[in-house]
Structure 1
Amino acid sequence: MTRREWCRRYLFFLAGLFINSFGVSFITKAALGTSPISSVPYTLSLGFAPTLGMFTLYMSIVLILVQMILLRRDFPRQYLLQIPVSFLFSWFIDMTMELLGFLTPDVYAAKVVCLLLGCGILGFGVFMEMAAGVVMLPGECFVNAISRTFHTDFGRTKVAFDTSITVAAAIIGLILYRELAGVREGTIVAAVLVGMIARRLNCTIGPRVNLLLTGKKYRSITN
C-alpha cells in the first residue's frame, strides 16, 4: 500500500466514522430506540450523568479488554488502533448529539422518518468504514475475536452479539426504569436496515469507491 493510498483510506475511514456517529445520533433522536450496538450505552445514559458518547467509550474499552484476554498473544497490533478510534468515535457521538439538539420529533410519523433517515446515514457510514479496510470498531473486532477463538461463523456471531446486547439493554432498562427505555421498535428496524443498506451500497458504488481509494480497476471476486 502506497503512502497516498494509505492517506486516502484513513481519511475515508475518518469521514465514515463521523457519518456513522451522525447516524447513531439521528436514530437516537427519533426516540424509538437506538441501534443495537448503542443500546446499552444509550439506556445507561438515560439515568446517569455520563453522556451517550462517554458510555460508548466505556463499553468500547471493555470490549477491547475482553479481546485481549481471548486472543492473548494472537491479539493483532493493528487492533490497538481501536483505542484512539474509540475515543474519537465517542467524541463524534457527543458532538453530533449536540448538533442535533434541535431535533425533537413529537409526532410518531416524524419519528419514523427520522429513524429511517438515521438508518440510511448509519448504513452509509458503515459502508465507508468497510470500504476503507483499515480499522474496525471494537464491536466488529470483538465479534471477530469470538469467531477466531471459538471457530464460529462471523455473520452468525455478529447476529448473536447484537441480539445479546439488545437483550442486555432491555434488562437494564427494566431494572433501572421499569420499562424498555432504550430498546424499542426502532432498535429492530435499525438492526435490519443498516446492514442491508451497507451491503447494497457495497454492491452498487463499492467498485467506484475502490477505484477512488486504490486507483486500480475493481475486479469482482466472482471473475
Structure 2
Amino acid sequence: MKKSTPAQWATRIILYIIGLFFMAMGVAFGVFLYMEVDLVAMPMEGFTQAIAKKVGKPFHNVKIVVDCSSVALGIVLSFVFPHGLLGIREGTVITAIVVGKVMGVFKKPLQAKIQKLCFGAVGPVPEEVRELEELEGIRVDD
C-alpha cells in the first residue's frame, strides 16, 4: 500500500467528514422513522430497543452503547482470528458514536410531526380507540 502525503490525508479526512454527515443523517433519519412508527425493527435496532425499554433509557443513547460494543467485539474477534484487524478503522468507530447522537437530535423536533403524519392527531388516545384496542388485546400506550 502506498503511503499518503499529509495533503492527501487531510483531503481524505475532509471528504470523510462530509460523507459521515450525509450518511449519519440518512441512517439516523431512516432508523428514527421506522422505529418511531413501530415498524418491524432490524435485528440490531430491535435488540437496542429491547435493552432501552428494559433499562428505561432513551433509544438513541442505548444505540451508541450497543454500536460501540459491536465495534469493540469486532476488534477483539479480528485479533482472535489470524487475519488481523480488517475492515475496522477510525471511520467505523466515529460512525458508531455519531449515528445515535444524530438520532437524538432528530427526535425532539420531528417526533410529533411523524406521529401526526402516520397516525393522525397527536395526543391522548381517544376512549373509543382505547376500548377497541383493549378488546383486541393490543397494548395501548399514551
Q: CA RMSD in A?
A: 3.0
Asked if 1 retains the 8 angstrom alpha-carbon contact of 2:29 and 2:103, the reply is: yes
Instruction: Output the amino acid matched with 1:177.
Output: H
Distance in 1 (alpha carbons) for counterparts of 2:91 and 2:69: 16
Percentage of matched positions with identical amino acids: 22
Please report how far the alpha carbon of residue 203 of structure 1 lies from its aligned counterpart in structure 2 after TM superposition: 0.9
Q: 1:208 to 1:158 in 2, by over 3 A?
A: closer
* Gap regions ≥5 residues in structure 2: 1-10, 125-142
Distance change >3 Å, CA 152–CA 127, structure 1 → 2:
closer
Equivalent in the alignment of 1:172: 77
> Which amino acid is the alignment partner of residue 31 of structure 2?
V
TM-score (norm 1): 0.41
* Structure with higher RCO (Cα < 8 A, 6+ apart): 1
Q: Specify the alignment match of 2:98 in structure 1.
A: 193
Q: 1:107 to 1:144 in 2, by over 3 A?
A: closer
In the TM superposition, 1:8-23 aligns within 5 A as none
Give the conservation status (yes or no) of the 8 Å contact 2:28–2:103. Answer: yes
Q: Which amino acid is 2:110 matched to?
A: I
**Normalising by structure 2, what TM-score?**
0.60
- 1:136/1:125 CA distance change after superposition, 3 Å: same
Counterpart in the other structure of 1:111: 16
Whose helix fraction is larger, Structure 1's or Structure 2's? 1
Equivalent pair of 2:24/2:95 in contact (CA under 8 Å): yes
Aligned residue pairs total 110
Specify the SS of the correspondent of 1:134: coil
1: distance between equivalents of 2:62 and 2:110? Answer: 27
The Cα of 1:118 is off from its aligned counterpart by 0.7
- 1:141 is aligned to 2:43: no
Contact 1:123–1:195 (Cα < 8 Å) also in 2:
yes
Q: Classify 1:134/1:194 alpha carbon distance in 2 versus 1 (closer, same or farther; 3 Å).
A: same
Gaps of 5+ in 1: 1-105
Report SS of the residue matched to 2:39: coil
Query: Secondary structure of the residue that 2:88 maps to in structure 1?
Result: coil
Distance 1:192 1:160 in 2: 8
